[in-house]
Amino acid sequence: MEYFANVYLTLTFFIKTLTSAAPCFKIKMMVERLFNRKGDKMRKKDTSACDCDVIHAQVVKEVEGQMLPKEDFQAMANLYKMYSDPTRLKILWALYCHEMCVCDLAVLLGMTKSAISHQLKSLRMANLVKFDKQGKVAYYSLVDCHVKEIFENALEHIKE
């Protein structure tokens, strides 16, 4: 009997929604809220999301004024991509500890010099590492203290 009551309520909401010309996604949301379902599977109610349609215009306006340009977000995403690869992280960590040449990094990480050089090129292009050539040997190091701070902040965060 409760099922039929829910169906009746759903149909009532459909009619009200259709007559108000609301978008289809609102109808789907209403049905999901009524039945607390997604498809045929029961879902847990998400308590982390708002359960209302209130817009806090002052907050939105304030934050909108503080948003960075798209280019800055893209540059940050590119920076974090460099930190998303375990091999590059190992190289950066080794250089965090000490300036090293490609041969030393290859031995330390059990990789070929070619593979290390390929990763170092990406890190150089992202302005995370620099090299100083002394004769035939290029010694790599972190470009500045900011790279070290990113590591320290990440370690502090994962250790919490």
107-148 confidence digits (pLDDT tens): 999 999 999 999 999 999 999 999 999 999 999 999 999 999
Q: Which SS3 state, helix, strand or coil, does residue 68 take?
A: coil
Longest Cα separation, the chain: 86
95-104 confidence digits (pLDDT tens): 999 999 999 9
Among residues 5, 2, 4, 9, which one has the least CA distance to residue 33? 9
Beta-bridge mates of residue 133: 138
Token pair, residue 102, equals 């490609």
Contact between residue 96 and residue 149 where contact means Cβ atoms under 8 Å apart: no
58-82 confidence digits (pLDDT tens): 999 999 999 999 999 999 999 999 9
Average of per-residue pLDDT values in the chain = 82
Contact between residue 158 and residue 150 where contact means Cβ atoms under 8 Å apart: no
